[in-house]
Chains A and B, each alone.
Chain A
Amino acid sequence: DAKTTQPNSMESNEEEPVHLPCNHSTISGTDYIHWYRQLPSQGPEYVIHGLTSNVNNRMASLAIAEDRKSSTLILHRATLRDAAVYYCIRTGDEKLTFGTGTRLTIIP
């Protein structure tokens, strides 16, 4: 059950913004949108989550479409340390299920 759709991979230049897209066209009204990332040899790490409004924290911003069928994770200034697999997950009254995510490569 592919609840979200993400590109398999993306590349970005260091110190430039990165926009990671996610489609979740079957999202219900009570589902949250979560983003996690997994750095090499580490466990998944929470990045950000939101319900309807755009969200900002020290790590990233989350832009949610008005119809909530898609969202974009924004890294404002990518560094080499941001190279990771990024997972977009929609979840409501259920446990977190991870897809294959987007592998982000940062080019120095």
Chain B
Amino acid sequence: DAGVIQSPRHEVTEMGQEVTLRCKPISGHNSLFWYRQTMMRGLELLIYFNNNVPIDDSGMPEDRFSAKMPNASFSTLKIQPSEPRDSAVYFCASSRSRTGGFYGYTFGSGTRLTVV
């Protein structure tokens, strides 16, 4: 089991550019979660999918952020256009349940995004 795989590990981009973060969940997990972590706000849930369908995107900060899950083994989080305040570590997590109540979540190693 390779765990949750995120790419890239680090991304530095200029303000206004499009950024795409990628995630491969654990095989057999049917829920996928995108979190963002900053010093000021801690870990925030942005969006989560169940069976490839977006269930709750209330944490997505604004229309510049979008997420897709075209199949059970791949998800993307896109920021267009990027702004310096988007600088953060973005984590992807997957679970066998949408609630995490019983099975819990497995997190990836994160993507550190810096927008200059």
Contact = CB atoms under 8 A, between A and B. Distances in A.
Interface residues of B, number: 22
B45 A43 contact: no
Interface in A80-108: 91-100
A31 B101 contact: yes
A34 B99 CA distance: 12
Contacts of B98: 95
Given A97-B45, A100-B42, A92 B99 contact: yes
Nearest to A91: B101
B43 A95 contact: no
Given A43-B109, A44-B91, A95 B56 contact: yes
A84 B33 CA distance: 22
B42 A91 contact: no
Given A43-B109, A45-B107, A94 B42 contact: no
Given A42-B110, A49-B104, 20 more contacts: A34-B100, A36-B104, A36-B105, A43-B4, A43-B109, A43-B110, A44-B93, A45-B107, A46-B106, A91-B101, A92-B101, A93-B99, A95-B33, A95-B45, A95-B56, A95-B98, A95-B99, A95-B100, A96-B105, A100-B42
23 contacts: A32-B101, A34-B104, A36-B105, A42-B109, A42-B110, A43-B107, A43-B108, A43-B110, A44-B43, A44-B91, A44-B107, A45-B107, A46-B104, A46-B105, A49-B102, A49-B104, A91-B101, A93-B101, A94-B99, A95-B48, A96-B33, A96-B45, A99-B42
Kindly list the 7 A-B residue pairs having the minimum CB-CB distance in the complex, ordered from nearest. Answer: A43-B107, A98-B43, A96-B100, A46-B104, A32-B101, A43-B91, A44-B107
